[in-house]
A and B are shown apart, each in its own frame.
Chain A
Amino acid sequence: MKICVLVKEVPDAAVQKRIDPSTMRLDRGGEKNLNPFDTHALEAAMQIKEGGAIPVEEVVAVTMGPSSAVRALHKAVALGADRSVHLSDDALAGSDVCATGYALAKVLESESPDLVLLGQQSDDGECYTIGAVVADHLKMPSLTQVIQIDVTDGKLRCERQAEYGYDTVEVELPAVISVGDAINEPRYPSLKAIMGAKKKPLDAKATGDVGIEAGSVGEGGSKTKVLGLNPPPAKEAGEIIEDEDTNETVEKIVAWLDERKLI
């Protein structure tokens, strides 16, 4: 089978993120890195490949992003992907989640994978939604926040991190699965893998190459419009109950919670 892994270049975790008020877009300057969640998706792909329960011919890393995103693809192949695809086109600038998902789905269509893996969230946009949008376009089942994948009889048994407890779900291929960081410990790329990264094939694609309709992507093709930006409300000072650790203290706390209908 063939596994495609969606990977995104994001500002490094150490970079303080800010939104540019003139464009209403995230300022993506500074050090960049491969989205940490996507390293877990790659590791999951590698473990399925190396596990041998189902033969995997190829693991392909796919990204949509500016020219600098090539570095994220080099890292992805250093972590084990066999080759990579880079969708890059000025027409894509300013795409929202729906447009990004549509564009990525078109690239994936041209690859016809049996399994699409991706991180559950990006470190910058943090919308948690690309997996669902991509699955919708590809007409494939979608699982999110998966923290365990077992291959059984050509199907996948997955554990999802649900709000309360865990869901165990079986899914048939093809499918789109977004993974959480509890799924595995990603490996470090060895020196050999890093030095060999540029030798692995990297296909650059423009929108026309994969049949993306120009009107459905970019700022014009995006259905959302950011109207304004507001910082989150500052945290209010809490109320400190200064007291010895007595039954009375407990009563005070219970009364406080009760007042606010929290219990």
Chain B
Amino acid sequence: MAVDTAAYREMTDEQEAIVEMVRQFADEQIIPNAEHYDHEDSFPEPIVEQMKELGLFGVTIPEEYGGMGLDLTTYAMIVEELSRGWISISGVVNTHFIGSYLLMKFGTDEQKEYFLPKMATGEIRAAFSLSEPEVGSDVQGIKATAKKGEDGNWELNGQKMWVTNGLGSSVVFVLMKNDTKADPPYKGMTCFITEKEAWKETGEGDFKGLNVPPKIKKMGYKGVESTELVYDGYKCPPERILGGEEAGLGQGFVQMMDALEVGRVNVAARGVGIGQRALELALRYSQERKTFGKTISNHQAIQFKLADMATQLEAARLVTRKAARMKDAGERSDLEAGMAKLLASECGKYCVEESFRIHGGYGYSKEYEIERLYRDAPLLLIGEGTSEIQRMVIGKKLLQRHKI
């Protein structure tokens, strides 16, 4: 007799249909082509164009602005599937998602109406930029500055680092110090919405003073460019301060930290996705490869690896979904988002390494997909806050909540 498992289902019909579609898209369009773009370190334009048509740039943007208005939980499911294909593909959407979150939560009506419809279709893509050559974890230590000029515009100066989608984006949400003497420093920080021309190194006209040096050469996470950004007297009108000049000035740090909370769920989903792929590759390879007269899947040591990978992956997935669900329910989820990011990014790296070991010497060969995953996974340990920083945040929150 058929058992009705409906009661145990944790996805809505729509989420199931969406996940099925994105998985098929990853299987047919991303996985077979990733090696090519990874090898050339070139932008996967045809894949990105298809993603625009499928609506993947407007997942969380409200319907009134032409998006789908879906929640963080559904978004995380999509990111997991895209990352199972290739984390660079989710990287193309990731900074865009954070930009749209900032606008949706803090933007003025004019800012939303101006940017969101074009962002929902993917016509323009967004990047966000906190990090600088000398500052990553310690965000309050940034050096780039904004100074109000006599014409009312803000003049931006300074160097930014590690801007994912730095060249292909048309809008960068950038954190600047508008008051270098503020105490505590975070009160003197503002988020500016800086427009630029996509794929153009040297800013001209309205965008003069924003230049993009050649992309950084990376170990993995190729295809999607990470660049420096040089602000050199770039003029930003006051209405391009996130939330408007009156409400937004000095609010940049708080706004960005809020966005990083959803960003962490997003990175966690990427960890689950890459880990899932690593497990799939290990399951297949271990049943094909024979040593000592049997497939290596018949050696208990290999079975234990598979078991540990699958077990950790399931735990990471559940914590990630929980953090997303809490955020969607309007509950405070900073602790859970940190836990999800820590657990899932480490799990992604762990699964990739175990799968690599299972592949033996072939795992070291570019002929096998695991070689790319091995170079891709470590990014997740660093971006959106390192594991050390996550532990700091989690520890602090725990003590705050359980003060005696």
Max chain B C-beta neighbours (<10 A), residue from A74, A188, A190: A188
Report the separation of the CA atoms of residues A191 and B67 in the bound assembly, to the nearest whole angstrom: 10
A194 adjacent to B24 (CB under 8 Å): no
Please give, as numbers and ranges, the residues of chain A lying within 8 Å of B20 by CB-CB distance.
33
B37 within 8 A of A: no
Determine the interface band of chain B, counting residues with CB < 8 A from chain A: 10 to 19
Given contacts A29-B2, A188-B54, contact A194 B17 (CB under 8 A): yes
Please give, as numbers and ranges, the residues of chain A lying within 8 Å of B58 by CB-CB distance.
191
Given contacts A29-B2, A71-B13, A74-B13, contact A194 B53 (CB under 8 A): no
Report the separation of the CA atoms of residues A195 and B13 in the bound assembly, to the nearest whole angstrom: 10
Please give, as numbers and ranges, the residues of chain A lying within 8 Å of B56 by CB-CB distance.
191
A191 adjacent to B13 (CB under 8 Å): no
B25 adjacent to A191 (CB under 8 Å): no
Report the separation of the CA atoms of residues A33 and B19 in the bound assembly, to the nearest whole angstrom: 13
B82 within 8 A of A: no
CB distance from B119 to the nearest CB of A (A): 15
A197 adjacent to B68 (CB under 8 Å): no
A198 within 8 A of B: yes
A108 within 8 A of B: no
Please give, as numbers and ranges, the residues of chain A lying within 8 Å of B335 by CB-CB distance.
none
Please give, as numbers and ranges, the residues of chain B lying within 8 Å of A106 by CB-CB distance.
none
Please give, as numbers and ranges, the residues of chain B lying within 8 Å of A198 by CB-CB distance.
13-14
Q: Which of A33, A71, A190, A197 contacts B55 (CB 8 A)?
A: A190
Report the separation of the CA atoms of residues A69 and B55 in the bound assembly, to the nearest whole angstrom: 26
- Binary per-residue interface labels of chain B (16-40) against chain A in the complex, 1 for a CB within 8 Å, 0 otherwise: 0110110011000000000000000
CB distance from B27 to the nearest CB of A (A): 11
Please give, as numbers and ranges, the residues of chain A lying within 8 Å of B59 by CB-CB distance.
191
Given contacts A71-B13, A188-B24, A188-B54, contact A194 B18 (CB under 8 A): yes
- Binary per-residue interface labels of chain A (180-214) against chain B in the complex, 1 for a CB within 8 Å, 0 otherwise: 00000000111110110110000000000000000
A75 within 8 A of B: yes
Max chain B C-beta neighbours (<10 A), residue from A71, A78, A195: A195
Report the separation of the CA atoms of residues A85 and B54 in the bound assembly, to the nearest whole angstrom: 26
B68 adjacent to A192 (CB under 8 Å): yes
The B interface, classified by DSSP as helix, strand, loop or mixed, is helix
A195 adjacent to B68 (CB under 8 Å): yes
A195 adjacent to B14 (CB under 8 Å): yes
B17 adjacent to A74 (CB under 8 Å): yes
- Binary per-residue interface labels of chain B (146-179) against chain A in the complex, 1 for a CB within 8 Å, 0 otherwise: 0000000000000000000000000000000000
A189 adjacent to B21 (CB under 8 Å): yes
Please give, as numbers and ranges, the residues of chain B lying within 8 Å of A190 by CB-CB distance.
53-55
Report the separation of the CA atoms of residues A74 and B53 in the bound assembly, to the nearest whole angstrom: 20
Cβ < 8 Å to B, chain A residues 17-45: 29, 33
B2 adjacent to A191 (CB under 8 Å): no
A191 adjacent to B24 (CB under 8 Å): no
- Binary per-residue interface labels of chain B (48-73) against chain A in the complex, 1 for a CB within 8 Å, 0 otherwise: 00100111101100000000101000
Report the separation of the CA atoms of residues A71 and B17 in the bound assembly, to the nearest whole angstrom: 9
A191 adjacent to B18 (CB under 8 Å): yes
CB distance from A35 to the nearest CB of B (A): 14
B2 adjacent to A194 (CB under 8 Å): no
Report the separation of the CA atoms of residues A74 and B54 in the bound assembly, to the nearest whole angstrom: 17
Please give, as numbers and ranges, the residues of chain B lying within 8 Å of A29 by CB-CB distance.
2
Report the separation of the CA atoms of residues A35 and B336 in the bound assembly, to the nearest whole angstrom: 40
Report the separation of the CA atoms of residues A75 and B13 in the bound assembly, to the nearest whole angstrom: 11
CB distance from B274 to the nearest CB of A (A): 21
Closest to B15 in A: A194
A192 adjacent to B55 (CB under 8 Å): yes
Given contacts A29-B2, A71-B13, A75-B17, contact A191 B70 (CB under 8 A): yes
Closest to B55 in A: A191
CB distance from A195 to the nearest CB of B (A): 6
Report the separation of the CA atoms of residues A74 and B59 in the bound assembly, to the nearest whole angstrom: 20
Max chain B C-beta neighbours (<10 A), residue from A191, A192, A195: A191
Max chain A C-beta neighbours (<10 A), residue from B56, B59, B68, B70: B68
B2 adjacent to A189 (CB under 8 Å): no
Report the separation of the CA atoms of residues A189 and B17 in the bound assembly, to the nearest whole angstrom: 9
Max chain A C-beta neighbours (<10 A), residue from B14, B58, B59, B70: B14
Closest to B29 in A: A188
Report the separation of the CA atoms of residues A74 and B21 in the bound assembly, to the nearest whole angstrom: 13
Report the separation of the CA atoms of residues A190 and B54 in the bound assembly, to the nearest whole angstrom: 4
Please give, as numbers and ranges, the residues of chain A lying within 8 Å of B25 by CB-CB distance.
188
Report the separation of the CA atoms of residues A179 and B13 in the bound assembly, to the nearest whole angstrom: 29
Report the separation of the CA atoms of residues A190 and B20 in the bound assembly, to the nearest whole angstrom: 12
The 10 closest A-B pairs by CB, nearest first: A191-B55, A194-B17, A190-B54, A190-B55, A191-B68, A192-B55, A188-B21, A189-B21, A188-B25, A194-B18
Extra contacts besides A189-B21, A190-B54, A191-B55 (10): CB < 8 Å: A29-B2, A33-B20, A75-B17, A188-B25, A188-B54, A191-B54, A194-B17, A194-B21, A195-B70, A198-B14
Q: B residues near A, CB below 8 A? A: 2, 13-14, 17-18, 20-21, 24-25, 50, 53-56, 58-59, 68, 70
22 A–B contacts, CB within 8 A, in A order: A33-B20, A71-B13, A74-B17, A78-B17, A188-B25, A188-B50, A188-B54, A189-B17, A189-B21, A190-B54, A191-B54, A191-B56, A191-B58, A191-B68, A192-B55, A194-B17, A194-B18, A194-B21, A195-B68, A197-B17, A198-B13, A198-B14
